[in-house]
A and B are shown apart, each in its own frame.
Chain A
């Protein structure tokens, strides 16, 4: 199947906005269509996406948090990317574990890294972070303690030995690392 034909097919099955990203259809799903569309892509013989590849999320600033999952058809050798946006505060999404059991660990990781709830997940216990870890480190507002504690050596101007007001390049503005 050509990428274009797959794009139209995914769009037809899900009924949601589908865009091409580097030859892979990326479908933007509403939260309440997340489960049904995923199951449809798996069950429809034309897409047959029976293999769960990965699930993660990214911090999209004011647009909220975006959960992204990639699924694949082993037999037909094509895949699709599913994306849903949830709110920064108490954002929740139905768990994909009922559709692809392999999503369980990915959702646990995404839960601890971003603080997104996955409703219906059997056990969202922390997977990678140490016990008692406070916060969701992959969110942009998460402050890195080391950067806050250490003085940036580049803050000095040439010919000076005391820190000026220059900020580290490429880092968010604000009084502290991690604040945007």
Chain B
């Protein structure tokens, strides 16, 4: 029951931690500037610290050097937090798929709930991704005992 309550809280209050690592972060900022659209999805961008967030949006290129720090941010978030991979680099390396230094997808180290394609994705694609995440949380709710 406690889980269900937490999930229910999530659907109406996505506090987004922006892990902006490259050019996709600009698109994230553009989406975040559409406050009304974000609010319609129950989302508030720019959580001040991981502990106050329940959704992590990784927008940009994760390098092997940086990957442990992204993992640490995830570990500092509350249990049951969600992760969105925003853009080709975070999805699977993107243009740097053959690079010696770029992690080939953040899902290699943390579980990803929603993948948003694009290089970069449009700002509106972030809203689409959040909507899908809401659907997923709602599905989790229905599946809960």
Is there a direct interface between A and B, measured as CB atoms under 8 Å apart in the complex? yes
Interface residues of A (CB under 8 A from B): 128-130, 133, 135, 137, 142, 144-147, 177
A133 to chain B, nearest CB (A): 8
Assess whether B65 is in contact with A128, with CB atoms less than 8 Å apart: yes
User: Across the interface, do B100 and A137 meet the contact criterion of CB distance under 8 Å?
Assistant: yes
Residues of B within 8 A of A (CB): 63-65, 67, 93, 97-101, 104
User: What residues of chain A lie closer than 8 Å to B99, measured between beta carbons?
Assistant: 144, 146
A contact patch SS: loop
Docked complex Cα distance between A129 and B67 (Å): 12
Chain A residue, CB-CB nearest to B96: A146
- Closest residue of B by beta carbon distance from A137: B100
Most buried by A among B65, B93, B100: B100
Q: A128-B65, A137-B100, A147-B98 are in contact. List 15 more A-B contacts (CB 8 A).
A: A128-B101, A129-B64, A129-B65, A130-B64, A130-B67, A133-B64, A133-B100, A135-B100, A144-B98, A144-B99, A145-B100, A146-B93, A146-B99, A146-B104, A177-B98
- Shortest CB-to-CB span from A150 to chain B, Å, is 8
Contact for A142 among B63, B67, B97, B100, CB less than 8 A: B100
Report chain A residues within 8 Å CB of B63.
130
Whether B100 pairs with A144 at a CB distance below 8 angstroms is yes
Which 8 pairs show the lowest CB-CB distances between chains A and B? A130-B64, A137-B100, A146-B98, A130-B65, A144-B98, A147-B98, A146-B97, A144-B100
